[in-house]
């Protein structure tokens, strides 16, 4: 699968290797760590964005995954909620030999009571317990190029509500100084029944903000395997001041109910 946007061609090419994965609060931590250490698709990553990372007696998932990837990797994990006794966190992991991370911000996404919603949707959301949602925003330099990388996780309920959360994430990016590369990735909970809704409004909003949905061709990213149900919940969006070619894929492994999605992005 590939996504092309070539223009202003230069002589030198550079390739960024990126992955985003919802690891289901570490329920299959041992399998996740084995994949990170041994599967070739995880080898030599530049950046990894995690959703639903968690903690355990000896530390946090992101730090463990960074160690499994190798000694060059560093990690940052932010716990923003608890599902029962399990911490729920977003995280960023980066290869310190190629990525110099300057800062990581926690952008708290709006809750349902803070945004205008259709009456029926608001009444539905008032009946369930609100869960905070966060977009982690890392400001970095990759191979001398300014880079912004985001690990986002939208709520699981409310069509317009998720759209409002997504637009809030875009507004936060617009308010920041422009980076040469911006990656917005994560679990956007774009659930469908049949072919509805299409979630086209999210893609249009991203495009208006200059972000390409480079993972469009991935068919599904989450499954309830016992019921043979599959959904496309995860995406990678990219804004680039440089020409690029993106190869994207999902790895069908059983380390979570979500698949890790990868992008190999070559810039010219």
- In the sheet that holds 47-53, the strands lie side by side as 2-5, 244-250, 261-267, 14-22, 47-53, 86-95, 73-83
Check pLDDT > 90 for residue 10: no
Residue 8, pLDDT > 60, answer: no
Contact 249, 218 (CB under 8 A): yes
Indicate whether this model's pTM tops 0.85: yes
Per-residue pLDDT, 161: 80
> What is the token pair recorded at 92?
């960023």
pLDDT tens, position by position, 180-201: 999 999 999 887 776 667 788 8
Strand partners, 55: 60
- The arithmetic mean of pLDDT across residues 127-146, rounded, is 91
Q: Which residue has the higher pLDDT, 198 or 15?
A: 15
Side-by-side strand order, sheet with 145-153? 99-108, 134-142, 145-153, 181-187, 234-240, 212-213
Q: Which pLDDT value is given to residue 199?
A: 81
What is the rounded (10 degree) CA torsion for 204, 187, 70, 55?
150
Give the pLDDT confidence score for residue 100 in this predicted structure: 98
> For residue 170, what is the enclosing H or E element?
helix 159-174
Mean pLDDT, rounded, for 106-128? 78
Q: How many CB atoms lie within 10 A of CB 228?
A: 7
Closest of 103, 115, 263, 102 to residue 184, by C-alpha: 263
Q: Determine the pLDDT at residue 194.
A: 64
Q: Is the pLDDT of residue 80 over 50?
A: yes
Determine the average pLDDT of the residues in 62-77.
98
Rounded (5°) CA angle 162-139-210: 50
The residue extents of the domains of the chain are 2-267
Closest CA to 253 of 216, 226, 221: 221
- 28-32, 144-148, 172-176, 191-195 — which is least confidently predicted? 191-195
User: If we measure between CA atoms, which residue out of 61, 100, 102, 58 comes closest to residue 79?
Assistant: 61
pLDDT of residue 9: 37
Q: Is-contact 138 101, C-beta < 8 A?
A: yes
What top-level class would CATH report for the domain 2-267? alpha beta
Tokens of 201: 């409004």
State which H helix or E strand residue 164 sits in: helix 159-174
Mean pLDDT of the chain: 90
* pLDDT reported for residue 200: 87
Q: What is the mean pLDDT of residues 190-214?
A: 86
């Amino acid at each position: 699968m590939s996504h092309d946007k070539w223009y202003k061609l230069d002589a030198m090419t550079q390739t960024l290797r990126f992955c985003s994965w919802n690891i289901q609060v570490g329920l299959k931590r041992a399998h996740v760590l084995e994949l990170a250490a041994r599967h070739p698709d995880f080898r030599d990553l530049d950046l990894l964005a995690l959703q639903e990372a968690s903690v355990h007696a000896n530390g946090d998932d992101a730090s463990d995954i960074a160690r499994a990837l190798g000694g060059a990797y560093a990690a940052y994990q932010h716990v923003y909620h608890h599902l029962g006794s399990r911490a729920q966190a977003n995280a960023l992991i980066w290869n310190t030999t190629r990525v110099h991370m300057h800062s990581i911000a926690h952008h708290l996404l709006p809750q349902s009571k803070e945004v205008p919603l259709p009456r029926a949707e608001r009444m539905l959301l008032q009946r369930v317990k609100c869960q905070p949602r966060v977009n982690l925003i890392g400001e970095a330099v990759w191979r001398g190029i300014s880079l912004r990388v985001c690990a986002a996780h939208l709520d699981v309920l409310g069509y317009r509500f998720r759209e409002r959360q997504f637009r809030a994430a875009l507004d936060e990016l617009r308010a920041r100084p422009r980076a040469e590369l911006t990656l917005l990735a994560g679990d956007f909970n774009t659930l469908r029944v049949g072919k509805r809704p299409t979630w086209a409004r999210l893609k249009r909003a991203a495009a208006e903000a200059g972000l390409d949905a480079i993972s469009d061709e991935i068919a599904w990213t989450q499954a309830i395997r016992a019921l043979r149900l599959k959904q496309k919940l995860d995406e990678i969006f990219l804004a680039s001041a440089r020409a690029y070619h993106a190869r994207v894929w999902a790895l069908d492994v059983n380390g979570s109910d979500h698949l890790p999605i990868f992008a190999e992005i070559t810039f010219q």
